[in-house]
Amino acid sequence: MLESQVAETTTHVAEPTRRDFLYIATGAAAVVGGATLVWPFVQSLAPDAATVAAGAPVEVDLTPIAEGQIVKVFWRGKLIFIRHRTAEEIKAAEDVNVASLRDPQPDSARVKEGKVQWLIVYGNCTHLGCVPLGQQGEYHGWFCPCHGSIFDTSGRVRGGPAPINLPIPPYTFASDTKIVIGQEATA
In this structure, the number of other CB atoms found within 10 A of the CB of residue 171 comes to 22
User: How far is Cα 87 from Cα 127, in angstroms, rounded to an integer?
Assistant: 29
Residue 48 phi, psi (nearest 5): -75, 170
H/E run at residue 81: strand 78-84
58-61 sheet: strands from edge to edge: 58-61, 178-181, 171-175
Residue 38 phi, psi (nearest 5): -80, -35
C-alpha dihedral sign at 113, 108, 130, 163: positive
Q: Give the active site residues.
A: 147
Residue 185 phi, psi (nearest 5): -70, 140
User: How far is Cα 103 from Cα 91, in angstroms, rounded to an integer?
Assistant: 19
